[in-house]
Structure 1
């Protein structure tokens, strides 16, 4: 919406949505856990009150001459990361796939070779995945591009060179952190397409990669956003023991013990239509518990990665247990529930369910951990600048 005439008919709906904190999409529980995020788009109480007051006073038009210039909006053909980092260093394309006009969800899983793109080991700074413009960006529901690479002497490295979902376009690692890739390897494409009543022929999703300069070695090496399941089954990866009876609310936990120190930079819950809440809690080796983050208004439409501010990003010692708790609402009170009368099990479709978390996590050596802890304590004890 770019004008008063476009906004005015929706004024009351806008008021309701911002009061319920459904828009802008920011679904964190504001009463617990870390509250400082790099990508926080939520409104303050004062901003919400301003909108509500405007609507209740009849939604009058202000002075058109006082309007700020219109923003330059992307049409989906360019890379979002390019605004910060310039053009990508290289772009990889998935094999072509035709999406039927009318069908069920469709998945395209294929491997492609990674050869001749780089000529030496390099560190990745940022990645982005998207469908091709104009129709591919509409049919790509979400996707992953995973690179498994190796050096000439057999050393291996693996990690994502692109993850995409509504509300998530790409990943940029913190300054001084990078993901190592080698010149030879294979890319696994896992793409979920959803028909749009129009055939899309030979769609080729694209993964863009931004590299650190040649010869640069970051202080911290990461494997990018990693998968953590909330699964009660022994060793299961995908929470395949999900079973939701009709008209039920159910919770499930998964626990992962860190075998080395780690820094968590982002938290991205993943469930489907019945998902209502997910939390990330740390249980420290000394028994202390800390709620790191909790989403209490989950909406499957928005796959948001909540990016912790540098000074508060969880810095966890070896032996810490990460407890992931998921809650589903399979009742008629859930407005996103397509049918509360159904039994629901694990599955890839939106009407099925999942339960896992994507964490931006960087594993640390003991020395790196101790150094970061000391730096954070020093920063917290430093006098604050004031007027």
Structure 2
């Protein structure tokens, strides 16, 4: 029996603890916050999206540049495996209309309670309010309300998260401790985030908080249908998040980026032009758009805001603008507001067991690794899958394999 430290009590840490505790090892989970699973519970407030039911090859492709590196891990713990694991905890799941998988209760708390109960039966120890602060020699150092403490273990798995949601514990405070050991870390950047737009005060006052529904948005990520929300700062919501990585990278590379919006994806430009041309010129511009193009007030306001001269355009040009309105973006919203983060420990730092080659006996999993994925259950699934892979790597390490 080996002694294993798992630093970080989020989904990745708890999954690693389950695998190792279930195999009979002495596992201690260290968490800086007063309780574990806080980010999981936060995600569950709007319906806990566990995974996605699309074909596995499509699922793996969602991880972009990291897909090939993650493929063996995801092959070993698929979306179907996630659902089976939930069922084993007494939590039934269902597939929503979009292919996203949720617990039937939609909540995270029943799953977390059952999970922690399982860990207790495995003899897993959980120490909260223990904030990791690096190493003291070969010992792990923690800051606690009673002062600093140190512990020694046979192996360690780091599951400290990325840099988003710092209030829930993912604050990237671990970066200096690994960097001073020579571990290469890709800079963190916001993922699944909103973007700033230079809205006028009049537009903000009237439309902030309103959804823009039934649109198709295009960027380097392709054309995707859905909806987004006008915020006081710019735009946010599921459709924006689906394009976030491509837009963020284009802004970083060129200094400019635009989200191209088809405000009426159900009609062709020719049909729109004909419908607009039939409207009497005596009608106000808003009424012409409402009757001829079916635009609601928020879409009309968006068109006016981005293209102030739209009212003077002939029907053909106006229709073309409605079908391809370019919304210029200024910058991503701060990483603290992002759903997830890109960046982390570079893959070149790991062996095939997810052990850091510069730090034998130290492994990492979850969002600490350099990968990103869209919302839709991909984030949680990869955290669970990499945790299981790291736990398997620990067992191979302590057994000399």
Coarse TM-score class (shorter-chain normalised): under 0.3
Relative CO higher for 1 or 2, CA cutoff 8 Å, sep ≥ 6?
2
Higher helix share: 2
TM-score (normalised: structure 2): 0.24
Higher strand share: 1
Give the greater-gyration-radius structure (CA): 2
